[in-house]
Each structure stands twice: as C-alpha cells, then as structure tokens.
Structure 1
C-alpha cells in the first residue's frame, strides 16, 4: 500500500469492459499476517459497484453481507450485480463477488429516498376535528407486525362553533432519537494515533521483544503510517477500563482536491468500521495473543450497516467516532457478536453497525473441557486436542 493512497481511491471500482452490471476491483490490500484481503475493502467496493446501478435521488440506507472465503490479492475480483427491485421509494441490489471460480463474498444493499421535510408543530399544536369524525381513525397506516398503538394524551378545547372542536396533543413525540454519545470523551486532538502510540511503546519497552513479535509490531506500525485511515484509540476522562467496549477515532486520508460523493463516503465508512470490530468480542472475554488460552482465530463472518442522514455541515475528511460494544461471545461455539455506533465530531449519529465473527481459542495441548462439540476444537487420530484454525 502506497503511503500516498487516499481512501477514496481504495474503495473505488472500475466497470467491466464488456460485461454489464459487473465492476472490477483494484488496489486490493492484504494486511500483514492476514488470511486474505481486508474485509472492509471488499464491502466498500461491493457497495460502490452496487450504487453505480442506482439512479439518484435514491441513496444507500442499509447493507448486509457475508464473507464466504478469504479473497486474495490476485486475481481481480468481479462484483456481479443483480437488480432485485426498483421501486419509487426503495431499490434493492444483490452483489456477488467472484475471484476466478471462487465466490468469496455476497452483499445485499437497500436504497431509499432522502428524508422528507416535516411540517411544523408535528406531534404538537392544535388540530381541527369536525363533529362526527374520529381523530384516531384518521387514515392511520400501521405495519402488520404492529399489535397495539399507544393512545396519545388528548386535551379537548371547546370551539365557538358547534360543528368543530380543537384537539391539542401532548404525546411525547420527538422528531429524532439517537443512542447518546459517551460522556467525558477526550477529543480527537488529545488522543494519540496508533502509529505514534505503538512507536512510543516500542522505544520505551520494545527491547524485550525480539524475533517474530518484534517484526510483527514493526510491520503494524508501518502499515498504520501508510494506511488511508488514521486510527486513534478514543478514551474517556475517567479511563474506566470497560473491556466489552472499544472506541476508535477513524479519519479518512483524502487528497485535498478530492470531493467524494455521498455514496463514496458511505463506502468509506464501511471500509473504516471493519477495523478492530470483531476484536472487541475477543477482548471482552480476555482472549488475545498473550492470554491463556491464546486467541486461535479471529475472522469476520458477516457485517451490517444502517446509515442515517448526514448533517448539512458533514466533512468526510474529519474524524468519526466508532463506539463498539461486545454483545455476546461463546468460545464453545467459536462465535462472537458486536454492535457499533458511528458519530461525527459534533456527536451526530450517522451509522449503526453490527458484526458476527469467528472467535476461537487455541487449545492445543489443553484439555477440551466440553469445547469439541462447539466447533472450537477437534480431536486428531491420537485423541489429542488441537485448535481448528
């Protein structure tokens, strides 16, 4: 990966020269020590391939995807798009990523219209109801899955006319809600970027690391310096040390002249939110390279993102905060689930993320303790337990 590579160029795709509804990958990146291409890049390129077949004003609002096989740096990935639906308000696309004769990834994407401008005093103020009409039955449309509707607090006001009355509602309605931003958060400027933080650690304590471990850390520092995404560990002022929550500042590196479209920005967010995501799950149960047992395998199985409207002053070159929280980890099953929220610097929530992944312990030389059935380990012909990697 070139140190000057911008994130917008890494998520971009090219149309196939002869096959319709097909896009081609380029600049695929395999992180040091990884089994295949970085998953966030495959998600992002699939999204841009999909979005190229959807006409404005529809824009991406959600995506769900599955990693089937590790993608390799070569050959080129073909993103084959199928148009599932083109409606007035929603459109749906299916993207299947093929590398040679291997299908490595599948993605569903849904698109919708921009937000509607709401009328003033919505949910409050006064409404005129003519005599004999029922306000509760006034064209209410509900989903078939809705089983009950809460009754609003209604106050009747006598009208001077015998045929009408005014109804004032106070039902607690609000136009928006979002999961609150963590309290006492240190700003981006006070948090050290990963490359700087680990280089300081190497300078102060790295002398005790030699061989493979030292090379791994040096390679990680180099990759972070050259990465199109600057990452800084986000901290709170009280440093509560909550191990099931991880927070990261993510900043896309862009060329000064670049003005990425909104759909490209969404693909960039997809790329960035795959960093350290499923690792939040293993961290919540104390499973890592130096733990006992050691972390045996960590890999994404699926990824989902729901996007919400960007604020008017949104700047894609500014940092975003990804708050990741482990939801469930079962080492016996070899799986873990995490969810996340993506905020702007001003605290506006712009995306909700989710991921399930493989979280396996390396139990070679250890007693199985009931983990065989869960898929975390298997026994060889000598009845010795070994990790299924």
Structure 2
C-alpha cells in the first residue's frame, strides 16, 4: 500500500472513526459516475484527497464507465490499464468510452480518462456472457481466518503518524496474515509473499458490476507490499517513491466484495526502478475469484 493508497483508502471522510457502512457508502458514491453525454461520464475524487488521484479509484471509475455501455448479462472478465499521468484530485475526471466491439459472446470497451485536456489513464475491458466450459483452479493457501487477525489500526500501533492509518475512516477492512512490511523491514525477516484478508466494511448493493469495481479499487492497495518487504523498505518510513505503471485483472468466478477475500501476492522480479507484482484472490470458501498483475515504479532515494 503506497502512501497515496493509504490516504485514498482512508480519506473518503473527515469525520473520524474506523470505517463502517457510511464510509463504504461514500466509496459507492465515488463509483457512481455522472453521465454527461453518450459514452462520456464524469467522476470526482474524495474531498480530502492526497496530491494525486489514487490509482484504484481511477481504475474502478473507468470500469464503471465501460460497464454502463454493456448489457447487464455480460460480466467483465478482464481489464488491462495504463497509468499515464498523475491525476489531479481537485478537478473532475472525464471518462470517454469507445465501443470497440459487440460480438455474440464478448464485448470490448476502451476508456480514456482525461483531465486538463490530456489523457491520465487508459483502460481496455472485456465482457462475456456466461457459458459452460472446462473448470479447474489452484487451491487457496492455508492461512488463519480474518477474525483471528489484528485490524489494520492494531498492526500500525507505534507507526500511526508515519503510516497515517490510526483513527481514520476506511471503506475497506484490511487484515494482514503475515507481518506487514513496515514491521519486517526492521526485523531482518524479508518474506517473498504478502497475504492480506480484505472486504468492504459494510453491505454493498446487489450489483455485480459494483462488486467488481470495488475489488478493482482494492486490488491496488497492497499489491507492491511483497516487493517492498523483500528490500526492507516501506512508504513513509524510508526514502522510497512509487507509483502504479500498469495493472491487469482477470475475474474468474462470481464473488461479493463485501465478504472476506484473501489477497495473496508475490514479487517475482524487480529491475530498472520497476517491480513486477502478481496476486491471486480467493473467496472465504477457497474459490479462486481473480488474478492480478501489476508493474510499479519504485525508486529508492
């Protein structure tokens, strides 16, 4: 979770508290874009935002824009995105949807997010009608259940000021299975994987696209943690800067983002100030629901 991600995840409200339904409702509102013309939508950022728009927010909003031009019976199965320029949280984001193809089974959309007359983000998304086929999946790792794990605020005890997580309202409940990288950086233990339970902190409407967009938002929060852990550095605690460069998601099976899902991520390689991170997401019953790949910019100063 970058410093930007932490602030975005906790900055949807300035009323204090630890999250809950009304904070989650603000995230749902953030994803409810305004239609201003055929294939053109407008989104905004939280009123208390960091200096750049959080990548998970713009990806989730872009996917909402794409999904609103697709029949409801076609669910999104993949997205591929590039972060082109930092987003300005003080002005609205315009999402322009290009209806690339409407086939018998698949629908393809391209979305460009624009601010100040320039593209800041691009997304390609593919949707598919449900159909039978071969089935298999790798098993979920054997990990403790989320209820037995400390909350994010408890994990951050002693690091509150630099991590900016204490007493901040959050739309997502995040529970680290292993020690988070801000702990392992000083312990000498440098794990190659990062495992986190997550869920929307409240109840979401029964809207499949919304659940997919909330998971897309969440998928950008902790993905680079495994990379940071391997090198013993962390945002806000060390001289390290980072940003998402590109992001890909494949959705395998139905899920609810307001029910616990395990985010199991790894860092297979890093070079040239870039790190590649991969993640597998599982529902509470062990169902493999999604796969994520991201390349991030990481500069150690």
Q: TM-score range by the shorter chain?
A: 0.7 to 0.9
Aligned residue for 2:23, secondary structure, equals coil
- CA displacement at 1:233 relative to structure 2: 0.2
Aligned mate of 1:53, from 60, 69, 72: 69
Q: 2:148 aligns with which of 166, 190, 199?
A: 190
1:304, CA displacement in angstroms? 0.4
**1:242, distance to aligned residue in structure 2 (A):** 5.8
Report the CA distance shift for 1:101/1:36 in structure 2 as closer, same or farther (over 3 A).
same
> Is 1:346 paired with 2:260?
no
Please point out which of 298, 301, 313 is paired with 2:245. Answer: 301
Give the Cα–Cα distance (whole angstroms) in 2 for the partners of residues 179 and 65 of structure 1. 25
Aligned to 1:176: 135
Question: For 2:295, what is the secondary structure of its paired residue?
Answer: strand
2:4 maps to which residue?
Answer: none
Per-residue Cα deviation, 1:291-319 (whole angstroms, up to 9, x for no partner): 8xx44311110110000121xxx443211
Distance 1:52 1:188 in 2: 34
Aligned residue for 2:80? 64
| Structure 2 residue aligned with 1:221 | 166
Q: Deviations over 1:158-210 (max 9, x none)?
A: xxxxxxxxxxxxxxxxx422222112x11011011101322xx23xxx6xxxx
Q: Cα gap change, 1:84/1:290 in structure 2, threshold over 3 Å: closer, same or farther?
A: closer
Structure 1 residues 242, 347: closer, same or farther in 2, change over 3 A?
farther
CA contact (8 A) 1:285 1:329 kept: no
Question: 1:113 maps to what in 2?
Answer: 129
Unpaired runs of 5+ residues, structure 2, are 1-11, 14-18
Residue 192 of structure 1 aligns to a residue whose secondary structure is coil
Counterpart CA distance in 2 for 1:322 and 1:11 is: 22
Specify the structure having the higher radius of gyration (Cα). 1
Distance in 1 separating the partners of 2:29 and 2:206: 10
Aligned to 1:359: 298
- Distance in 1 of aligned mates of 2:47 and 2:139: 34
Report the number of matched residues. 273
CA separation of 1:339 and 1:99: change in aligned 2, threshold 3 A: same
For the residues of structure 2 that align with 1:85 and 1:343, how far apart are their CA atoms? 31
Query: After the TM superposition, which residues 15-26 of structure 1 pair with which residues of structure 2 at under 5 Å, given as runs?
Result: 15-16=35-36, 19-26=37-44
Give the distance between the partners of 1:104 and 1:26, measured in 2 at CA.
Answer: 14
Superposed CA deviations along residues 265-288 of structure 1, whole A, max 9, x for unmatched, are 111110011112123222222233
SS in 2 for 1:317: coil
Offset, 1:29: 6.6
Q: How does 1:22-33 map to 2 (within 5 A)?
A: 22-28=40-46
| Cα-Cα RMSD | 2.3
RCO greater where, 1 or 2, for CA within 8 Å and sep 6 or more? 2
Counterpart position of 1:137? none
Q: Is the 8 A contact 2:81 2:246 kept in 1?
A: yes
Q: Quick check: 1:278–1:299 contact (8 Å CA) kept in 2?
A: no
Q: Residue 316 of structure 1 aligns with which residue? A: 257
- Tell me, in whole angstroms, the C-alpha distance in 2 between the residues paired with 1:27 and 1:360: 26
CA separation in 1, counterparts of 2:117 and 2:141?
Answer: 46
For residues 48 and 103 of structure 2, the distance between their equivalents in structure 1, rounded to whole angstroms, comes to: 38
Residue 14 of structure 1 deviates from its aligned partner by: 1.7
1:254 aligned counterpart, secondary structure: coil
